[in-house]
Amino acid sequence: MKQLKIITALLFALLMFSGFWSGESHATLKKERVEASQETLWLLYKYAPEAKEMIANSYGYATFSNLGLNLFFVSAEGGKGLAKVNDGGKTVYMNMASGGLGLGLGVKDFRIIFLFEDKKAFDSFVEHGWEANAQADAAAKVGSDGGALNAAVTVAPGMRIYKLTQNGLAIQATIQGTKYWADGDLN
């Protein structure tokens, strides 16, 4: 029970510091998410050029900017992003939170990109958006120095994920529960 309270406190802190309650206008928050999404796609194309064609041929995609914290036996992540249908389709502004148990230590700033093969996969993610997983990774990156061990994986029929570490120093092996959901204030 004590670990659950710690995870809850860490998630709350991540959400507070990630700008969810910043007092900015909805238009400004949407613009920031669109700009962050474009930056994330640029980074993806830089590190995985083949992804550009994959995204162009997909039904849609989602991008998230996240901050993760691992503190011995608990981990927490928080972030925000958007899901977009290609060819000028709808944009859904979304949030993300995660908590887990396992071994880890560190902080990292990372990006997640989802590719959706079809409308069914996209709609399922936007409407249900739940993912539970086990993960192990190592990251030591500041600006353009350092590296991170991450990979693109297919996680469900019609869905593929890329994970890019921007900055941080972390090593972890955790079982995570992650929730992605539509932002009720921005949609």
- What percentage of the chain exceeds 70 in pLDDT? 68
Q: What pLDDT, on a 0 to 100 scale, did the predictor assign at position 99? A: 83
Mean pLDDT confidence for 55-59: 93
For 29, half-sphere exposure in the C-beta direction (CA atoms, 13 angstrom radius) is 21
Looking at the chain, the number of H-run helices and the number of E-run strands are 4, 6
Q: What pLDDT, on a 0 to 100 scale, did the predictor assign at position 110? A: 82
- What's the burial of 172, exposed, middle or buried (CB within 10 Å: 0-12/13-18/19+)? buried
Q: Which helix (H) or strand (E) holds 169?
A: strand 159-182
Q: Which residue in this structure is represented by tokens 């507070």? A: 16
- The residues, ordered by sequence, that sit 6+ positions from 33 with a Cβ below 8 Å of its Cβ are 80, 81, 82, 93, 186
State pLDDT tens for residues 112-161: 899 999 999 999 999 987 766 655 554 444 454 444 444 445 566 788 88
Mean pLDDT confidence for 37-41: 93
Instruction: Using the predicted structure, report yes or no on whether residue 49 has a pLDDT greater than 80.
Output: yes
Instruction: Using the predicted structure, report yes or no on whether residue 62 has a pLDDT greater than 80.
Output: yes
Q: What pLDDT, on a 0 to 100 scale, did the predictor assign at position 141? A: 44
Is the CB of residue 69 less than 8 Å from the CB of residue 8?
Answer: no
Nearest to 182 by CA among 93, 102, 108, 120: 93
Instruction: Using the predicted structure, report yes or no on whether residue 170 has a pLDDT greater than 70.
Output: no
Instruction: Using the predicted structure, report yes or no on whether residue 81 has a pLDDT greater than 90.
Output: yes
Mean pLDDT confidence for 48-74: 87
